[in-house]
A and B are shown apart, each in its own frame.
Chain A
């Protein structure tokens, strides 16, 4: 059933020829090509997997926040960055706590912390 090399009548192709020993329909030849490239392809091509992928069409997001962020990114091509004025502070005046960038939490917890 698998390998259809051998005596095969041409299918619905418009150029029907005599039955020859090594003739394969173009469709079967394409199938062989595909199986050669993707050997793990399941044997039920039109089956559940393909259909379920089709039912699941649509981009999945982590949550509505993720979705709104993605939408905002598309609307304004630039990401909202940290205010550029902050880089001008250095050297002009003594910075106040508000001027300093947020300190990222340490990756390694300090041994002094509880």
Chain B
């Protein structure tokens, strides 16, 4: 139940939210007191914990609805409170997280402990005053967006208009207004009339960071479709189709499975988007549909292990990916608690490990190397000794600073740039 299922920084990076398999959300807050000191180290401490979703039972299908939090997305801050959307397979909830640091004292009709006074004993009136108290962080559900998805929700994305958001399941994408819970518009529907003809499903969807009319969705066949909501109410016809042509002679049983896109993320600039398939990360220029502009191999050595990875289901693992604040570096996870970063400008990449056994706190991480071939150098790890149960599926990068959050199965690691 403590398995982390999603990680997300808010828009300033001050808050970091994690969702887990047990339906809980834990929010960490950055300690920013000494930010301008030369030896400043960010610390994230628990700020709020609440139960977002509970397990439910679908009576019609006799299926359990898992409480696992699939995604969390923060709303940009508008007032003193913070808002986030959290979703499980079927229901999206808007949570308000607010601080309380004052309480009223000196009621006329109530005792200090809350018991009501006998009105006949009151002889004078006073004005209650607000006195400081220990900070209390409260989370309350403000909206529940339910019953709009037949299939399992894989993505939510807040629009740049700050009024609407989309939710995507395997076959459909819905558009919601943040204030309205009893209605949502269907904007993409790829369900075939005859389910026997089903060939692909939606795997991820996201709104463009600046253009409120544009969104993309990725498929299990390795394609990405960009849609413009101005063209029609139902965006079944895409405006752009991004697909890298495949050499048919290379096609194997695994080709389609490993081409399935597990995550799609726009760059902060809005000019590029990144997709993650099983073995690679691809950066696409929105102006070029026929192939990606950059391809990064995450763990190419797994190509000769696809048979066993199919048998143990690892081939279906859904890795996420993320951009750093200025879109110069992309990051994604791998197995054995390894995660990879690719520096786009300098054409450098690095493999690091998130593990308590192999590195001490405050210690600079040592780069790792996996040896694919026969000759294994000292300090290299052979492919066969990789632990496929230790997968890093969820990573997040602070929107401005070089602080990253990496989730292993049960633990959250926060790393930052080495300070001189």
Chain A interface (Cβ within 8 Å of chain B)? 4, 8-9, 11-14, 25-31, 33-35, 37, 41, 45-48, 50-52, 54-55, 57-64, 67-68, 71
Contact = CB atoms under 8 A, between A and B. Distances in A.
B285 interface: no
Given A14-B297, A31-B252, A55-B170, A60 B306 contact: no
Contacts of A68: 57
Contact of A51 (B57, B199, B253, B307): B199
Nearest to A62: B62
B317 interface: no
24 contacts: A9-B249, A12-B250, A14-B300, A26-B303, A26-B304, A27-B254, A27-B255, A29-B304, A30-B304, A33-B307, A37-B311, A45-B257, A46-B221, A46-B260, A48-B198, A48-B199, A51-B220, A55-B151, A55-B152, A55-B171, A55-B201, A60-B61, A60-B62, A60-B64
A96 to B, nearest CB: 40
Given A11-B250, A29-B304, A55-B151, 19 more contacts: A26-B304, A26-B306, A28-B252, A30-B305, A31-B254, A33-B307, A34-B253, A37-B307, A45-B254, A48-B195, A48-B196, A54-B170, A57-B152, A58-B63, A58-B66, A59-B64, A64-B59, A64-B62, A67-B62
A21 to B, nearest CB: 16
Interface in B248-276: 249-250, 252-257, 260
A47 B199 contact: yes
Contacts of A52: 195, 198
Nearest to A58: B63
B199 A31 contact: no
A31 to B, nearest CB: 4
A31 B253 contact: yes
Contacts of A57: 152
Contacts of B63: 58-61
Most buried by B among A8, A37, A50: A50
Given A58-B64, A61-B62, A8 B257 contact: no
Contacts of A59: 63-64
Nearest to A9: B249
Given A46-B221, A63-B62, A67-B57, A25 B199 contact: no
Contact of A46 (B195, B220, B249): B220
A67 to B, nearest CB: 5
A25 B250 contact: yes
A99 to B, nearest CB: 37
Interface string B170-207: 11000000000000000000000001111111000000
B33 interface: no
A34 B305 CA distance: 11
Nearest to B199: A47
Interface in B301-316: 303-307, 310-311
Interface string B141-179: 000000000011000000000000000001100000000
Contacts of A48: 195-199
B113 interface: no
A51 B252 contact: no
Contacts of A28: 252
- The winner among B63, B247, B297 for most chain A CB atoms within 10 A is B63
Contacts of A4: 249
A47 B306 CA distance: 18
A113 B260 CA distance: 64
A32 B203 CA distance: 28
Contacts of A30: 252, 254, 303-307
The 8 closest A-B pairs by CB, nearest first: A46-B256, A26-B304, A11-B250, A30-B306, A30-B307, A33-B307, A31-B252, A58-B63
Contact of B198 (A34, A35, A51): A51
Nearest to B65: A58
Nearest to B260: A46
Nearest to B192: A48
Nearest to A48: B198
B367 interface: no
Nearest to A38: B311
A96 B311 CA distance: 59
A29 B170 CA distance: 31
A46 B62 contact: no
A66 to B, nearest CB: 8
A60 B252 CA distance: 33
B253 A35 contact: yes
B253 A45 contact: yes
Contacts of B353: none
B256 A34 contact: no
Contacts of A31: 252-254, 306-307
